[in-house]
């Protein structure tokens, strides 16, 4: 059963412009084929304060998402060095 993909507004305005075009295409393919079909199979649950969220690794980038029914809410596509600092602020705000 396909999942509906819903993006946080900051993903398009802040995250994607910082990523090269070919990496954006690779990430988009991974999101559509993996998160759009079986997010629990391909994602890894996060821990501690982010334990209700999941991550999908695509190269050096992490896609942080939450599964709500048949909806996958994508909160960030951020480089691995800064993902947890930035996503924590984004989710708190």
Digit-coded pLDDT (tens) for 35-52: 999 999 999 999 998 999
Which of 57, 71, 85 has the alpha carbon at shortest distance from 8? 71
Digit-coded pLDDT (tens) for 38-88: 999 999 999 998 999 999 999 999 999 999 999 999 999 999 999 999 999
Q: How far is CA 44 from CA 5, 6, 21, 41, 80, in A?
A: 17, 19, 25, 8, 14
Query: Pairing mode, if any, of strands 44-45 and 54-58?
Result: antiparallel
Which residues lie below 8 Å from residue 20, measured CB to CB, with a gap of 6+?
A: none
Q: Could you tell me the pTM of the whole model?
A: 0.94
For the chain, list the domains and their CATH numbers. Answer: 4-92 (3.30.2310.20)
């Amino acid at each position: 059963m396909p999942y509906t993909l819903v993006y946080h507004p900051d993903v398009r305005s802040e995250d994607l412009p910082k990523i090269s075009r070919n990496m954006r295409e690779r990430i988009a393919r991974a999101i559509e084929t993996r998160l759009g079909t079986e997010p629990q199979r391909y994602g890894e649950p996060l821990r501690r304060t982010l334990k209700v969220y999941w991550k999908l690794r695509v190269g050096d980038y992490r896609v942080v998402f939450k599964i709500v029914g048949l909806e996958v809410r994508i909160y960030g596509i951020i480089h691995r060095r800064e993902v947890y600092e930035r996503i924590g602020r984004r989710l708190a705000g």
